[in-house]
Structure 1
């Protein structure tokens, strides 16, 4: 099977399920994603990007998590230079793609870690295959109830980029937006804006960690707290001093919070 070496010692391979094409990414030391491979007994971490972007802005977090557990990232259909589908995909479509792509590679026990719109995809992947998802991590969840129209959401994202993010995180996001292109971005934007996060989250039966940067105005404190209370086993953690892309700015702190949550809820969940 053909593989491609990526920057920062990441490898990738194309994956096609349900008539959709994406990409799975892993690092040296993580088992090759294929049926029959020895994936160990512990759940893998699966990182899921948001609208317009790719695994690249998750790469720092990926590397930290991969030092202690099998870790995979996904580039979803239509994003990151993957083929554009012929029609709009719902969050449910993306969730099904994630769950079936992982199943096709023999990855059947995992912790889903979604960021921004990736939170919506992660929720749907957990609902699609509830027997495989062990925990759910929602980083910077959208769409905050304060930003329920495109103008407010865009303003929050723009101010976050200008005031709270680093040049490197902005570079990754902007160049990924260019790779995605405006047509697919604006095809999927209404899906993100209308997704009923709280309603869908109420169907989750595994432990949930809601994680936000303390300066994240995209996913505000009241909204994040409300989501953490929408499930029986919900927790909220804030990473001090950072905004929406906390996993790039403070990957070690984010990884520590995720690992602590997974350890605690695996023992007592």
Structure 2
């Protein structure tokens, strides 16, 4: 895959980046396109493998939200709803009015809130390794789970991507966003989502456990759960091929049903 085109876009008063790959012509890729959203502290970089595989058959967009990656830090802490508003505004500027939204970790919160703000634009959600389990809603519990994941279930390359992005993010912005993540009640908010939801996790993920993902899926109007063997929390990197297959199959099935 060729390098995605990068667009610097200001929306809702904040500056972010959108990375765009158009599917090869003549393949009649499924519509709508697929949009990938990262989690806390990181950027589009740990979504690159998945982005490249999806872009072989469907227009694919990856977003660096304001304050993450190389984007400038906003003056004030942004809420989950603020990030959702940015996603909608940035994609609208690119002419993307309808899209399947894929969020990883805290990105699952952004995805849910985006679907709640403008449900007509998001026909399907994919929540990968969603956070935060209300039964483990303390910073210490989340840190211990993330530590176990890094030590026992991640590859060197996934750990390197995450760590270097954490360093770029900086402790100040990370900690501000961490409080937002911990306070967001995704298990309550997802009940208002009317579109189909695919909850996807690495089978070895200690951050988004099987029990938690089942409970979250059960709160949605229509949801399914898929587990990818041999992967931890950063399932979209270490299990990219299987994740891409599951997302594309699900998108085709939902488009056919619609």
1:60 maps to 2:54 = no
Aligned to 2:18: 24
Q: CA deviation at 1:151?
A: 0.4
Secondary structure in structure 2 of the residue aligned to 1:156: helix
Aligned to 1:214: 203
Query: Partners in 2 of 1:22 and 1:30 — Cα distance?
Result: 26
Aligned to 2:134: 145
Instruction: State how many pairs are aligned.
Output: 256
Gaps of 5+ in 2: none
Aligned to 1:246: 235
The equivalences for 1:222-241 within 5 A come to 222-241=211-230
Aligned to 2:123: 134
Query: Partners in 1 of 2:90 and 2:29 — Cα distance?
Result: 19
1:265 maps to 2:218 = no
Query: Partners in 2 of 1:99 and 1:116 — Cα distance?
Result: 19
TM-score calculated relative to the size of structure 2: 0.95
Change (3 A) 1:132 1:40: farther
Change (3 A) 1:30 1:86: farther
CA contact (8 A) 2:23 2:57 kept: no
CA contact (8 A) 1:30 1:71 kept: no
Query: Partners in 1 of 2:7 and 2:77 — Cα distance?
Result: 24
How far does the alpha carbon of each residue in 1:68-92 deviate from its partner, in whole angstroms, 9 at most, with x for none?
1000000000010211111111101
Query: Partners in 2 of 1:71 and 1:107 — Cα distance?
Result: 11
1:205 maps to 2:199 = no
TM-score calculated relative to the size of structure 1: 0.91
Change (3 A) 1:8 1:173: farther
Secondary structure in structure 1 of the residue aligned to 2:35: strand
Aligned to 1:160: 149
Secondary structure in structure 1 of the residue aligned to 2:17: strand
Q: CA deviation at 1:267?
A: 2.1
Q: CA deviation at 1:8?
A: 6.1
Query: Partners in 2 of 1:211 and 1:120 — Cα distance?
Result: 14
CA contact (8 A) 2:44 2:63 kept: yes
Aligned to 1:69: 58
Gaps of 5+ in 1: 1-6, 32-38
Work out which of the residue numbers 6, 26, 45 in structure 2 matches 1:12. 6
CA contact (8 A) 2:198 2:224 kept: yes
Aligned to 1:190: 179
1:109 maps to 2:103 = no
Change (3 A) 1:30 1:95: farther
